[in-house]
Structure 1
Amino acid sequence: MGVWLGVALVAFVLIIVFLLIKQLFWNAQLKNVKNKHVVITGGSSGIGKHVAIIAAKHGANVTIIARDIQRLEATKNEILHACENKDVQRVEYLSLDIGANYENVEKAVADLERTMGPIYMLVNCAGTAICGKIEDTTLDSLNKMININFLGAYYCIKAVAQRMKASREGMIVLTSSQAAMLGIFGYSAYCSTKFALRGLAESIAMELQPYNVSVTLCLPPDTDTPGFAAEELSKPLETRLISQAAKLVTPDVVADKLFKDALAGKFFSTVGFEGFILTTVCSGMSPFSSICELLLQASLMGFLRIVSAFYLISFQKIILNCMKMRNENKKSE
């Protein structure tokens, strides 16, 4: 009996290893964006900028959307230099506050499609993070994150969804965060908007799948972008220490993975082991892209829940140590 149990255990481990290798390293067939119109919000910097450059290298016509015209112009030149065929491809930019007013977004998208062609791929990268405990977060900061992080994506997707359904092709990417999978100290407002993007992604994936329109939810860890540098200025000590549990990644790495996962039709796009843990533990009723992914989630969810508990315990220790340190500092004053 013991021998058979050992054989079964070895077989189970080998199957898991095989599924992991297949899931993480097997290259699925990718869709082609050559001569297609790719639109990236938040495309003037950070992850969005690198997605735009990658799309240009793949032969796409690219439109970037952001608010800062000078930064948009500079980024447009970088994208032009990256084009696979500079004589054929087109690169444009649009200065627009996507979270301010739906009618403006709808009109801008319609104008873009008239001049640049139907939008085949929409990548929502616009976002901002303002840290602070719930009692320290101003309503202005809360509304800013709701408008940019959630409403901006919602408005843009609403503006393109009907035409993608009519043409029965398209891809939509929502750039959320690992903070869409767990609440984090100092991120009460930010996590709320990123959790909302997950709900939006799962809902529209169900709505659009019958029309051959895929949805990808990108969940990057802390990424070395101008937005992250600004975010660091408002981080409480606890948030900064918790963030150090995962290493800082470069935006080109996130953008490359995002782009490939979207072309492969994957729902989740993650970078690093922490991202794999989070999407596996929190997969729940989320869409799955393959039987291999489903089997991995079903097999590892229980074990990785235990692993995630150790992370949570370490985070609680950080919070308690910071509180203890503050109390001691107050006593010594």
Structure 2
Amino acid sequence: MTGAVLLAAATGVALVLAFLLLLYIVSPLTSPKPLSLSGAHVVVTGGSSGIGKSVAIECFKQGAFITLIARNESRLLEAKREIEKFSVNDKQVVHSISVDVSKDCANVERVLKQAQEKLGPVDMLINCAGTSANGKFEELDISRFEQLMAINYLGSVYPTRAVVTTMKERRMGRIVFVSSQAGQVGLFGYSAYSATKFALRGLAEALQMEVKPYNIYITVAYPPDTDTPGYTEENETKTLEAKLISEASAVCKPDHVARTIVKDAILGKFSSSVGTDGHMLAVLTSGMSPISSIAEVLEAVICMGFFRFMSLYYIASFDNIIRRCMVKKEKSEKMD
């Protein structure tokens, strides 16, 4: 009996060592060389405010040439002037383009072709263009579902289509999709928004398989609630349930979120998260997503069960919030 136990233990140890050896062999293939932004051409969509503008500033501070894209021309020019203040050399340029990246793929490809003629091939594309809507599924106008899918999803597809061919020809590049923590877990009132942000991950995973042999790496960023003009506007119409649920986590500053996104994209990490909650969500939702290091895999294997157990507390508290709000509403309706 003792011999059988020892044999089983030895077999288990051998399997673990074999697994670690396999990871060690695979690791060089999954750890790209960091991309230098000095002199690189970085395109940022949705760059006139919020996370997009902060991302552009962070890249500019590292010596990049920026193509800034947004719909509102006046805010775009204002952002351009602000970004230019952070130049590290007199050769840097901020090129601005006023265009709706969610409409007319051919037009998006045309303007990005012009940008590449001015500043050279795109080394990094950061898809930040996006919008949000909060409300109960049956109360949201169906046009909002269509609008969010166009802006949040197709608004990332079109710019990516415009640059990926040249990246493949050059055998290098980085593409970032800015999703959301609501793209990792569906929350009350975000049925329209979450679907679009979940879609970005599916796009990113499939695209990464296609472009990895060409030394192109995809990053999906999952920022938490961030203090941006869009977040302020969203709060004006947010449901009570959504407001109470969002209080479970702190609101982050866009500069901090931007630094994390840019750092992870430079390293070629597939998943980019912010804060403790974001890190836990990244592990919980890692699934079959591409890996960046042995440490990342081991952490997921070791922590997955514990983090899943912790997540039950959050799920229960969210359900409790929703039930309390429903009871309160029903009592109010009876009194009326």
> 1:280 aligned to 2:286?
no
Give the Cα–Cα distance (whole angstroms) in 2 for the partners of residues 31 and 204 of structure 1.
19
Name the Cα RMSD after superposition. Answer: 1.3
Instruction: Give the match's secondary structure for 1:141.
Output: helix
Identify the residue that residue 19 of structure 1 maps to in structure 2. none
CA distance in 2, matches of 1:281, 1:36: 34
Please tell me whether residue 57 in structure 1 is matched to residue 38 in structure 2.
no
Matched length: 306
In 2: Cα distance, 1:127 partner to 1:150 partner: 8
Trace 1:11-26 onto structure 2 (pairs within 5 A): none
Matches within 5 A, 1:1-333: 30-85=34-89, 87-333=90-336
- Cα drift, residue 29 of structure 1: 7.1
Q: Distance in 1 between matches of 2:228 and 2:270?
A: 24
Q: For the residues of structure 2 that align with 1:315 and 1:71, how far apart are their CA atoms?
A: 37
Tell me the distance in 2 between the aligned counterparts of 1:105 and 1:270: 29
Q: Which runs of 4+ in 1 moved over 4 A?
A: none
Contact 1:171–1:213 (8 Å) recurs in 2: yes
d(CA) in 2 for partners of 1:71 and 1:218? Answer: 24
Instruction: Determine the C-alpha separation between the residues in 1 that align with 2:251 and 2:286.
Output: 24
CA distance in 2 between partners of 1:134 and 1:100 (Å): 25
The answer for unaligned runs of 5 or more in structure 1 is 1-27
For the Cα contact (< 8 Å) 1:30–1:260, is it kept in 2?
Answer: no
Contact 1:150 / 1:197 at 8 angstroms: preserved in 2?
A: yes
TM-score normalised per structure 2: 0.89
Task: Note the alpha carbon deviations across 1:39-95, whole angstroms, 9 max, x for none.
Answer: 00000100010111111111110011001111111111111110111x211111000
- Are the equivalent residues in 1 in contact too, given 2:176–2:220 (CA < 8 A)? yes
Task: Name the SS for the 2:156 alignment partner.
Answer: helix
Letter in 2 for 1:187: Y
TM-score normalized by the length of structure 1:
0.90
CA contact 1:170–1:212 (8 Å) conserved in 2: yes
Question: What is the CA distance between 1:31 and its match in structure 2?
Answer: 2.2
Letter in 2 for 1:70: S
Secondary structure of 2:123's counterpart equals strand
Q: 1:291 corresponds to which letter in structure 2? A: I
AA paired with 2:57? I
Q: In structure 1, how many angstroms separate the alpha carbons of the residues matched to 2:192 and 2:173?
A: 31
Secondary structure in structure 2 of the residue aligned to 1:119: coil
Provide the rounded CA distance (Å) in 1 between the counterparts of 2:306 and 2:153: 33
Aligned to 1:13: none
- Residue 286 of structure 2 aligns with an amino acid whose one-letter code is S
1:10-33 residue CA offsets vs partner (Å, 9 max, x unmatched): xxxxxxxxxxxxxxxxxx974211
- Cα distance between partner residues in 2 of 1:116 and 1:105: 16
Residue identity over aligned pairs, in percent, reads 47
